[in-house]
Amino acid sequence: MAKQISIITFTGKLGNLIGYSRGGKHFLRSLPAKVRQTTATRRAARRFGIASKRGSLIRSAFSGLMDVRCDSGHVNRLTSALIPSAGGDTGSITAFRFNRHTGTDRFLTLSPKLSRNGILHIPPQTLPGFNGIHTLEIKVIAARIDFTTHQVVGTETAVLVVNAGESFKGAACDVDIPGKGTLVVVLQIKGLQNNMPSCNRKYLAADIIAVQPPQTLPVLHRQTYSKDPVFTPPSKEIEAPSPARTRFSFIQLE
């Protein structure tokens, strides 16, 4: 350890030297010739790298489709959620909030469920009322992500607007995007004031509500649904969409 006595001091790396301060005084030390990593540190670095890469792929799949602004720490939080399993168990990100200040459970007391055959069910329930919030915009965003090839295979979205503080009779949606990879479903809910989104972050939520890994075995007795995801009340049959339809669509109760 050497002390800096020059009029001009510095901190940080300069060539093979590192400047730093301690107790108001500046010192120098040389860079180590070789960084020794233990097996544990190498394993930790590898796990972090895998988690970081998968987290980046997940964010890129939804970044252009979500209308809710993420909090400043969502990148680190998503990576941290993937680190324990080295990114292998993507199910660990279920219930992840892109906006940590508000979750979709603030608006839906009964959580949506994704069945094995790719049908997302939103149970019937009474929606809570909020001061100044007249309607809720419910948006489902589904993405098929292949973590092996590091590609987003496909994405689809659907939007449904319902009245806040009233009875909701439920809905179902086929979100099974064709292709190989993991199916990740995000539910976004925004509180609307006179058909305009609230500026209050406590009325803006976007959560990962379901993660379905690639299925290696065929699902037997799958219920027949349209290939294009269609939201429909459970009491009505799903209508066949026109061939030109490429996005999710909704059928609401009268």
Question: Is residue 155 one of the residues assigned to a domain?
Answer: yes
Answer whether residue 122 is part of any domain: yes
Tokens of 115: 């069945």
Buried b (16+ CB within 10 A) or exposed e, 17-38: ebbeeeeeebbeeeeeeeeeee
Which residues, 6 or more positions from 209, have their beta carbon under 8 angstroms from its beta carbon? 94, 95, 104, 111, 112, 114, 185, 186, 187
C-alpha span between 208 and 211 (Å, rounded): 8
Predicted structure pTM score: 0.74
Lowest mean pLDDT across 29-43, 88-102, 160-174: 29-43
Q: Which of 20-29, 67-76, 103-112, 125-134 has the lowest mean pLDDT?
A: 20-29
Structural contact between residues 240 and 149, judged by C-beta atoms closer than 8 angstroms: no
H or E stretch at 230: strand 230-231
Give the whole-angstrom CA distance, residue 55 versus residue 80: 9
- The angle that helices 39-62 and 74-82 make with each other, rounded to 10 degrees, is 130
Tokens of 75: 């990148």
Residue 70 within a domain: no
Establish if 54 belongs to a structural domain: no
What are φ and ψ of residue 102, in 5° steps? Answer: -145, 140
Q: Is residue 65 part of a domain?
A: no
In a domain, 9, yes or no: no
Lowest mean pLDDT among 47-56, 112-121, 162-171, 212-221: 212-221
Q: What value does the mean pLDDT take over residues 16-44?
A: 83
Would you say residue 51 lies in a domain?
Answer: no
Query: Would 16 be classed as within a structural domain?
Result: no
Q: How many domains does the chain have?
A: 1
Per-residue pLDDT, averaged over 162-184, amounts to 93
- Local confidence band at 238 (pLDDT 50, 70, 90 cut-offs): very low
Domain that holds residue 177: 91-217+224-250
pLDDT in tens, 139-158: 999 999 999 999 999 999 99
**pLDDT, position 200:** 94
